[in-house]
Structure 1
Amino acid sequence: MDTVKKPLRADARRNYERLLQEARRAFAAHGVDASLEEIARQAGVGIGTLYRHFPTREDLVETVLREGFDTQAEVARELLDSPEPLSALKTWLAGMGEQSARYRGLPDLMVDVLNDETSPLYASCHAMRDGVSHLVERAKASGELRADVTVNELLVVLHALSWASEHLSGDKGLERLLDLVFAGLRAS
């Protein structure tokens, strides 16, 4: 069985890129449950073309999100060199929270995906989760973060804050909520 993917023809590549562009726009405007038919229509292709490139909604969402998740994993690696472990963790969480809040419905989806090994998003979410786990352990080792805090708890709290920040006015909603939460996460 040949597992090597053939490169896309030029027209197929254009369709693929237009679908991704329209999916980003639709997810930002309507959330991750946006109409796939409308995404295809706006991209100027039929729904069959969308499904040829992305057999499921999660495949499309994963492709749209993968770049951001990969970036967040890299940011976590870079922040490991920070002299202030708790500040580094908060910086990472703020960046991830901004990404989570970008698409309505994404926080719910990500919490579900962290526990679903069959999801196309599982690998991307866990690579990102593994990156932040080092920041969490470093903040605990420094004595700045409570020893009983887990990565999964922080991610669930982050997704809750991302959801909540959608309902606050002003640009600093997520940052303010993180400040409040971190006041309770500090080791005493």
Structure 2
Amino acid sequence: MEDRTRPLRADAVRNRDRLLAAAEAVMAERGPDVSVADIATRAGVAKGTMFRHFATKEDLVAAIVVKHMIVLADHARRLLDAPDPETALVDFLTFAADQRQQRDLAYLISNGGSTEEATRVRGEAHDAVVALVDRAREHGLIRSDITGTDVFLLACAPVQVAENLPGAPSDLWRRYLAVIIDGLLRADAAPLPVPAPVWR
């Protein structure tokens, strides 16, 4: 496994990036049970090179989760400076669903990433979304019983719902995103039947 205490050489950085991209592509096509050999072959490197960067396939999955969570967290933080909190929240949900549509990684986001770094970065992404939701609530723009955790968990839902229809148009997720957004913004909606989940 790579030594995180010193910078990687340029060729090592390239190999690591190729492994991450190859793992995403192969797992999106064939699911999480692909072999290490298949990933290395797609990346154009030897299996030994992969194990120098990632001790296990689980570590590789965690690195993919970390990469995507950082993108989501950074986008959410940038939106905190947007003048309109409602538009910012809609922007985030659209961005998150679009990222999910581009790469079929729901199983990674939900099941992968048990490393300390993945847990930390997922928490940072969650906290950034909480800040977006709190800002919208303070302006009276969303229903009062919606939490940041609710929104974080809903981020991939539009695409997951659309995938239940074989042969669905690639943009069908936008329909269900609109349903979710409408539900979030309805201040006059009936109270939700159970309490919001607690983030752990």
Gaps of at least 5 residues in structure 1 are none
In 1, Cα distance between the equivalents of 2:110 and 2:64? Answer: 17
Gaps of at least 5 residues in structure 2 are 189-200
In 2, Cα distance between the equivalents of 1:74 and 1:13? Answer: 22
Give how far 1:167 is off: 4.3
Q: What is the alpha-carbon root mean square deviation over aligned residues?
A: 2.8
Query: Aligned pairs, how many?
Result: 183
2:22–2:43 Cα contact (<8 Å) kept: yes
In structure 2, the residue matched to 1:102 is 102
Give how far 1:120 is off: 4.4
Deviates more, 1:4-13 or 1:122-131: 4-13
2:79–2:88 Cα contact (<8 Å) kept: yes
Give how far 1:24 is off: 3.1
In the TM superposition, 1:36-185 aligns within 5 A as 36-104=36-104, 106-112=105-111, 118=115, 120-167=117-164, 169-185=168-184
1:94–1:178 Cα contact (<8 Å) kept: yes
Deviation digits for residues 10-47 of structure 1 (CA, Å, limit 9, x no counterpart): 65445334322322321332344433220112233333
1:28–1:103 Cα contact (<8 Å) kept: yes
In 1, Cα distance between the equivalents of 2:82 and 2:112? Answer: 30
Give how far 1:144 is off: 1.4
Deviates more, 1:125-134 or 1:93-102: 93-102
TM-score normalised to structure 1 length: 0.79
The 1:34/1:113 distance shift into structure 2, 3 A limit, reads closer
TM-score normalised to structure 2 length: 0.75
In 1, Cα distance between the equivalents of 2:98 and 2:141? Answer: 24
Deviation digits for residues 75-95 of structure 1 (CA, Å, limit 9, x no counterpart): 212212323212211210111
Give how far 1:62 is off: 3.3
In structure 1, the residue matched to 2:196 is none
In 1, Cα distance between the equivalents of 2:108 and 2:28? Answer: 15
In 2, Cα distance between the equivalents of 1:108 and 1:11? Answer: 30
2:18–2:43 Cα contact (<8 Å) kept: yes
Deviation digits for residues 112-160 of structure 1 (CA, Å, limit 9, x no counterpart): 469x6x5542122111111111110011111111111122222222233
Deviates more, 1:90-99 or 1:79-88: 79-88
2:19–2:40 Cα contact (<8 Å) kept: yes
2:19–2:50 Cα contact (<8 Å) kept: yes
- Using the aligned pairs only, state the percent identity: 35
1:101–1:107 Cα contact (<8 Å) kept: no
